[in-house]
Chains A and B, each alone.
Chain A
């Protein structure tokens, strides 16, 4: 069974959407280059990227210091944001973000940026690989073991935390094909993980200790066996409800509309061959719904990384930490184990955060006199001002009505610009147009 493929034109606008959905937006000229590859070539280039090659200035904090992601608050967020900005493998980095949301682990509960960074590396290693391998690895991951009480799960006192979320959030969906009895039995199967507390080092030496494991017979999904933690994972992967859950959830990160039955069946068939994520992603990235369907709100970090990529600017301020938090997304601190809610990125509070993001992104390129030096001359021309604003932001595709509104705004702002105002007003209007453009619905969505 094959899944539907987009057969419409694959021009700059379509390539741009693909780069936003499967990455963090285009660098200047990148959408046009990708469009020239055609849909198949473009999807292949994203799902089979060459070795990583960082593009752009190295990151630093406000005082010019290199980042210390394990040792300074906020530097973990900046370190990852920098990867999103400079990566030449955007889909790998975007899938790392997907998995961070899927297996949402918060440093608020782990208490170690070092362990969170190690988890991040694990997610990246498995970004486009086998979900089966990723699930095994994340079950044994120290940050996850702390977060969902894996090391507190003992044969004499089973802790159901991880066993429940393994099914509810990671593999099957809430109440979808499992019972409370399965939760209890999975908890028994997952016993045995432990760590050693060393003063001054925290929890270390995470390991499976057979003497702490419940070796008895368990019954999970109606099957009987002396299941251990690997069996627990395997039982979930081979559950008949897993593959449909998996493809629905993965699809929802890339396409705004729900999966239709035909496409679901096709994706399930691809996925069930060998649990590999890459071919499922390829089918999703080729699907007509991605190109013709409604737009999606960009998650805050995607919005920020995209602005910086379009502006050719690197990570050069710690402000991105609190600005991203203000828009509702602090990396390494998802709100809870269910991750971020993609349906709730925009409200009156978070929009203020996004407005501030746009402002901070543009402040380094704002027009006007600086420190006694005269700024570049800005023409008293609404069309040229809008064209200039688009160029600064990497020439994103916008709707004709957005362009009209910006030109109308510029025209009405300049209508009294005579005398001394003729030179003073245009840079102010140009800065305002840039801000309005960066904060417009066209650039908040993709």
Chain B
């Protein structure tokens, strides 16, 4: 079964639509409600995991990817400039 999570980006916040999601296929959608370009990096907190990078989005842009996520803690952030330091980061918990 497919789960859905929407990540809303604005200056300078990054907010998933839910704090946790069930493991498995997850439709992760990135929406840019801001006035700047943003992107998204999703990475498991487990050591050695590879990040998943979403393409840069212009304001009002939207993109979606379906990911297979194992249970655990995932870090989400915008990798552009100092956006992460300014607050564009969040955690998503993937449950069993």
Closest to B64 in A: A73
Which residues in chain A, 71-86, are within 8 Å of chain B measured between CB atoms?
71-73, 75
Closest to B17 in A: A71
Task: Choose one: A70, A75, A202; the contact of B13 (CB below 8 Å).
Answer: A202
Q: Which residues of chain A come closer than 8 Å to B19, judged between CB atoms?
A: 200-201
Total interface residues on B, CB under 8 Å, equals 26
- Binding-face segment, B25-33, B36-44, B45-53: B25-33
Task: Choose one: B1, B3, B4, B8; the contact of A111 (CB below 8 Å).
Answer: B8
Closest to A70 in B: B17
**Do residues B4 and A200 form an inter-chain contact, with CB atoms below 8 A?**
no
B83 close to A (CB within 8 Å)? no
In the assembly, what is the distance between CA of A70 and CA of B1, in Å? 17
**Do residues B8 and A72 form an inter-chain contact, with CB atoms below 8 A?**
no
In the assembly, what is the distance between CA of A70 and CA of B2, in Å? 14
Contact A111:B5 (CB < 8 A) given known A200-B15, A200-B16, A200-B90: no
The winner among A71, A72, A112 for most chain B CB atoms within 10 A is A71
A344 close to B (CB within 8 Å)? no
Q: Which residues of chain B come closer than 8 Å to A113, judged between CB atoms?
A: 6, 17
Q: Which residues of chain B come closer than 8 Å to A112, judged between CB atoms?
A: 8, 15, 17
A384 close to B (CB within 8 Å)? no
Interface SS, B side: strand
Closest to A67 in B: B4
How far is the CB of A438 from the nearest CB of chain B, in Å?
30
A118 close to B (CB within 8 Å)? no
A249 close to B (CB within 8 Å)? no
**Do residues A71 and B90 form an inter-chain contact, with CB atoms below 8 A?**
no
**Do residues B29 and A199 form an inter-chain contact, with CB atoms below 8 A?**
no
Task: Choose one: B14, B15, B27, B33; the contact of A72 (CB below 8 Å).
Answer: B27
Q: Which residues of chain B come closer than 8 Å to A65, judged between CB atoms?
A: 1-2
**Do residues A71 and B6 form an inter-chain contact, with CB atoms below 8 A?**
yes
Q: Which residues of chain A come closer than 8 Å to B27, judged between CB atoms?
A: 72
In the assembly, what is the distance between CA of A111 and CA of B62, in Å? 13
**Do residues B13 and A72 form an inter-chain contact, with CB atoms below 8 A?**
no
In the assembly, what is the distance between CA of A73 and CA of B8, in Å? 10
A197 close to B (CB within 8 Å)? yes
How far is the CB of B18 from the nearest CB of chain A, in Å?
6
**Do residues A71 and B33 form an inter-chain contact, with CB atoms below 8 A?**
no
Q: Which residues of chain B come closer than 8 Å to A63, judged between CB atoms?
A: 2
Which residues in chain A, 339-377, are within 8 Å of chain B measured between CB atoms?
none
Q: Which residues of chain B come closer than 8 Å to A108, judged between CB atoms?
A: 33
B91 close to A (CB within 8 Å)? yes
Q: Which residues of chain B come closer than 8 Å to A70, judged between CB atoms?
A: 6, 17-18
Closest to A199 in B: B90
The winner among A65, A73, A75, A197 for most chain B CB atoms within 10 A is A73
Q: Which residues of chain B come closer than 8 Å to A200, judged between CB atoms?
A: 14-16, 19, 90-92
A411 close to B (CB within 8 Å)? no
Closest to B26 in A: A71
Q: Which residues of chain A come closer than 8 Å to B2, judged between CB atoms?
A: 63, 65
In the assembly, what is the distance between CA of A112 and CA of B17, in Å? 7
Closest to B6 in A: A71
In the assembly, what is the distance between CA of A108 and CA of B8, in Å? 11
**Do residues B4 and A72 form an inter-chain contact, with CB atoms below 8 A?**
yes
**Do residues B5 and A71 form an inter-chain contact, with CB atoms below 8 A?**
yes
Closest to B10 in A: A111
Q: Interface code A65-105, partner B: CB below 8 Å = 1, 0 otherwise?
A: 10010111101000000000000000000000000000000
In the assembly, what is the distance between CA of A113 and CA of B15, in Å? 11
Q: Interface code A165-193, partner B: CB below 8 Å = 1, 0 otherwise?
A: 00000000000000000000000000000
**Do residues B29 and A202 form an inter-chain contact, with CB atoms below 8 A?**
no
The winner among B4, B13, B27 for most chain A CB atoms within 10 A is B4
**Do residues A73 and B15 form an inter-chain contact, with CB atoms below 8 A?**
no
Q: Interface code A302-342, partner B: CB below 8 Å = 1, 0 otherwise?
A: 00000000000000000000000000000000000000000
| Interchain residue pairs A-B with the least CB separation, the first 3 | A200-B90, A68-B4, A71-B4
User: Which residues of B line the A interface, CB within 8 A?
Assistant: 1-6, 8, 10, 13-19, 27, 29, 31, 33, 62, 64, 87, 89-92
Question: What would be 28 A-B contacts, judged by CB atoms less than 8 Å apart?
Answer: A63-B2, A65-B1, A65-B2, A68-B3, A68-B4, A70-B6, A70-B18, A71-B4, A71-B17, A71-B18, A71-B29, A72-B4, A73-B31, A73-B64, A108-B33, A111-B33, A112-B17, A197-B13, A199-B13, A199-B90, A200-B16, A200-B91, A200-B92, A201-B15, A201-B19, A202-B8, A202-B13, A202-B15
